[in-house]
Amino acid sequence: MAHVSQLPCDGDGICMVCKENPSAEETLTCKTCATPWHVGCLAASSRPPTMADAASWECPDCNCVDPVPVSAAPGGSSDLLAAIRAIEADSSLSEQEKARRRQELLCGGAGPSSSGFDPKRTVNDVLDIIDGSLNCSFCMQLPERPVTTPCGHNFCLRCFQKWVGQGKRTCANCRNEIPAKMASQPRINSALVMAIRMAKMAKSNNAGSAHGRPQHFIHNQNRPDKAFTTERAKRAGKANACSGKIFVTAPPDHFGPITAEYDPERNQGVLVGETWEDRMECRQWGAHLPHVAGIAGQSSYGAQSVCLSGGYQDDEDHGEWFLYTGSGGRDLTGNRRTNSEQSSEQKFEKLNEALRVSCKKGYPVRVVRSHKEKRSSYAAEAGVRYDGVYRIEKCWRKVGVQGFMVCRYLFVRCDNDPAPWASDEHGDRPRPMPVVKELNNAIDITERKGSPAWDYDEEKACWMWKKPPPISKKKTSTGVDSSATGKVKRRPRNMSIKDRLLKEFSCQICRKVMSFPITTPCAHNFCKACLEGAFAGKSIMRQRGREGRSLRTQKNIMKCPACTIDIADFLQNPQVNRELMDVIETLQRKCEEEENSESEEEGERATENPGAAPEDADDDSTEEIENPEKAENKKTEDTGAETNLKSNQKGRSCDDIKAAAVVDAGVAANRGKRVKVAAAAM
DNA sequence: GGGCCCGCAGGG
DNA sequence: CCCTGCGGGCCC
């Protein structure tokens, strides 16, 4: 019994045993792994004998020589009974909620990587399908923020960080070496996140479960368009910083998620996890409009969105919550757009004040994360990703790392969809306020006084506007209401397992569902054969041959085909991610079953080829599909093909490289069309 | 990989 | 109309 119930506090400071938020005095911090533990819930034998010993105290996990897998079974039965009775007696819970909490309890409670009030993983459901093959070797639970080692083993981010935090540099499973880069900067393996979610979904669909809501998490496929470069920007000889058409009809001062009603283009809205190539493209979909500034807002009205892209050293990202730094205090003379050096203090004015308004009112603030943030495990793998809405619970000022006063904001996630890194099937539940140490030295602390405008409705079990959202003061970007476009609204698609398999588990080289998947240290996934083939002989040059300079300087560097990370060491002995492979194979079997049982229900979309062009491609796009460059040239013959090709390939960080010619051509064809439309409008 | 320097969009 | 701004292509 003893060490089974020994669990630390989670990322939000909540004790995983008693679910309370212990005060600083009741918290012990392990000297080895720096994890906080609730003293009251520690076995007596694990507590430090005296107060003086507390500073050098080592937690039960670090005290063990080996990572002893913690049993998922619950501890003492009397405790369990008491806990179940407490749930039953809680009149504030619905029957469904009670059932859910009972199940959490029986599933062994929280694992080390769960957070806040999130219900625990429905382990039993998933184990039926994937037979436990995905479990983290440390906590024996499904990894909630899975990371994959180069040797192909999967762990919770938290467990992995704890392990390397102890100075361990070998895989806990096979004792292979963990590269320094992976140890210091593990990235979430999003394919694995999807694997876990899909496995859960497949199960709950079969059981006709109450989780009826389709999980709409998408990758970059189906993106209808790209930003275009204006003629003026071309004349200036620069292909930078030009905006494209805004596709959503939400006004620029719209708060909260961009829902389907604002998306006449796709009729699905902006989905959590949606990723764009760059800030320009992100802007086009309305998630975050400014293309340089990190904050969108108006000082007298509120802030609608922020971007985390590593521009401010003080930022601190914990996924479900983060500390954001205000803007300003920098010297921008010399026509600079940004400057990493701070030279004066920040104040609550302009955009910083806009954020403070959103804090006071409790507005939902959209959050996008850029790949440029190098210090966060939650950063996008490539491009810019929409991560849902957060609320600013507090703001204050403090002296920043550069010695000047900065404005600070505590963001806590409150979205109805799960975060891109979370393998949960559901969105956020209200979670307790994280403990922020720097508040002790803060000034101008601002907290919300009244009730928040955007809040969790226990009855409906979702986040919603509890007060009417602020009235927009602006016109929509297109000036056209979505209901007035005359477009027939399509129902959002509820994807089949087959479609999702193709979308989420396709190799980034061959575009087919991966066989023998390999996860690189930069968290990209490929077929074993494709990856090996890509680096056989001259293929290396084709890989990186984006332009002449790249060829010359990079031909001897072996980089991940999906990003710019050097994976030469990894390629010496790449290991198949067997666990991911099991999941894919299981889902493929499910898929076959699904096809057999409901083949007649498959509509127009089922026959779609995985690599086919997006559905709104013109009939005459066939030629362009075969020759994307031709399509490009057709568009602007006068400026020459070279410029176009270059701009076509700019910033191809992740999904774009993996895009096979057909998809590329589909996009190109679409873009051609869009540019024509834009030109006609001018 | 770091510095330069540009157009652009939005706030006030 | 001026100021601000967590971009981005290109040069070195």
User: How does pLDDT run across A21-36, given as a tens digit for each residue?
Assistant: 777 777 777 564 455 6
Which nucleotide is at minimal CA–C1' distance from A547?
C10
Q: How many angstroms is C1' of C6 away from CA of A238?
A: 21
Q: Are residues A272 and A356 in the same domain?
A: yes
Residue at A523 is within a domain:
no
Domain count, chain A: 3
Phi, psi for residue A458 in degrees, rounded to 5: -60, -40
User: Residue A110, CB, less than 7 Å from strand B?
Assistant: no
Residue nearest to nucleotide B9 (CA to C1'): A290
Q: How many angstroms is C1' of C4 away from CA of A146?
A: 39
Q: Are residues A321 and A405 in the same domain?
A: yes
Q: Which nucleotides of C are covered by protein (CB under 7 A)?
A: 4-10, 12
Residues whose CB is less than 8 angstroms from the CB of residue A261 and which lie 6 or more positions away in sequence, other chains included? A269, A482, A483
- ∠ Cα A44 A50 A52 (to 5°): 140
CATH number at residue A160: 3.30.40.10
Q: Are residues A262 and A345 in the same domain?
A: yes
Residue nearest to nucleotide B4 (CA to C1'): A336
Q: Is the pLDDT of residue A297 over 60?
A: yes
Q: Are residues A267 and A414 in the same domain?
A: yes
Q: Is the pLDDT of residue A306 over 60?
A: yes
Residue at A486 is within a domain:
no
3-state secondary structure (DSSP) of residue A513: strand
Q: Are residues A300 and A398 in the same domain?
A: yes
Residue at A352 is within a domain:
yes
Residue at A132 is within a domain:
yes
User: Residue A327, CB, less than 7 Å from strand C?
Assistant: yes
Q: How many angstroms is C1' of B8 away from CA of A471?
A: 27
Q: C-alpha A595: how far from its chain's center?
A: 31
Residue at A552 is within a domain:
no
Q: Are residues A267 and A350 in the same domain?
A: yes
Give residue A483's pLDDT: 30
Q: How many angstroms is C1' of B10 away from CA of A336?
A: 17
User: Residue A225, CB, less than 7 Å from strand C?
Assistant: no
Q: Is the pLDDT of residue A539 over 60?
A: no
User: Residue A241, CB, less than 7 Å from strand C?
Assistant: yes
Residues of A from 637 to 676 whose C-beta is within 7 A of strand C: which are they? 646-647, 650-651
Give residue A597's pLDDT: 62
The span from the CA of A11 to the CA of A418, in Å, is 17
The span from the CA of A565 to the CA of A366, in Å, is 29
Q: Which nucleotides of B are covered by protein (CB under 7 A)?
A: 1, 5-12
Mean pLDDT over the full length of chain A: 68
Residue nearest to nucleotide C8 (CA to C1'): A240
User: Residue A354, CB, less than 7 Å from strand B?
Assistant: yes
Residue at A596 is within a domain:
no
Q: Are residues A317 and A390 in the same domain?
A: yes
Give residue A555's pLDDT: 34
Q: How many angstroms is C1' of B3 away from CA of A339?
A: 12
Give residue A11's pLDDT: 54
CATH number at residue A43: 3.30.40
Give the range of the structural domain holding residue A23, as residue numbers without chain letter: 1-60
CATH number at residue A325: 2.30.280.10
CB atoms < 10 A from the CB of A598, how many? 10
- Identify the sign of the CA torsion A343, A349, A354, A359: positive
**pLDDT tens track for A125-141:** 434 555 566 778 888 77
Q: Are residues A196 and A267 in the same domain?
A: no
Higher pLDDT, A494 or A87: A87
Q: Are residues A188 and A280 in the same domain?
A: no
Higher pLDDT, A675 or A161: A161
The span from the CA of A262 to the CA of A270, in Å, is 9
User: Residue A333, CB, less than 7 Å from strand B?
Assistant: no
Give residue A556's pLDDT: 40
Q: How many angstroms is C1' of B1 away from CA of A337?
A: 19
Confidence grade of residue A153 (pLDDT, cut at 50, 70, 90):
confident
| Mean pLDDT within A226-249 | 60
User: Residue A552, CB, less than 7 Å from strand B?
Assistant: no
Q: Are residues A19 and A163 in the same domain?
A: no
> Which of these ranges, A107-116, A505-514, A532-541, has the smallest mean pLDDT?
A107-116
Residue at A116 is within a domain:
no
The span from the CA of A109 to the CA of A15, in Å, is 11
| Mean pLDDT within A519-528 | 80
Confidence grade of residue A5 (pLDDT, cut at 50, 70, 90):
very low
Q: Are residues A445 and A304 in the same domain?
A: yes
User: Residue A238, CB, less than 7 Å from strand B?
Assistant: yes
Q: How many angstroms is C1' of C6 away from CA of A483?
A: 35
**pLDDT tens track for A617-642:** 333 333 332 333 333 333 333 333 33
Q: Are residues A272 and A386 in the same domain?
A: yes
Q: Is the pLDDT of residue A468 over 70?
A: yes
Amino acid A256 reads G
| Mean pLDDT within A184-200 | 77
Residue at A251 is within a domain:
no
User: Residue A290, CB, less than 7 Å from strand B?
Assistant: yes
Q: How many angstroms is C1' of C6 away from CA of A272?
A: 21
Q: How many angstroms is C1' of B1 away from CA of A5?
A: 49
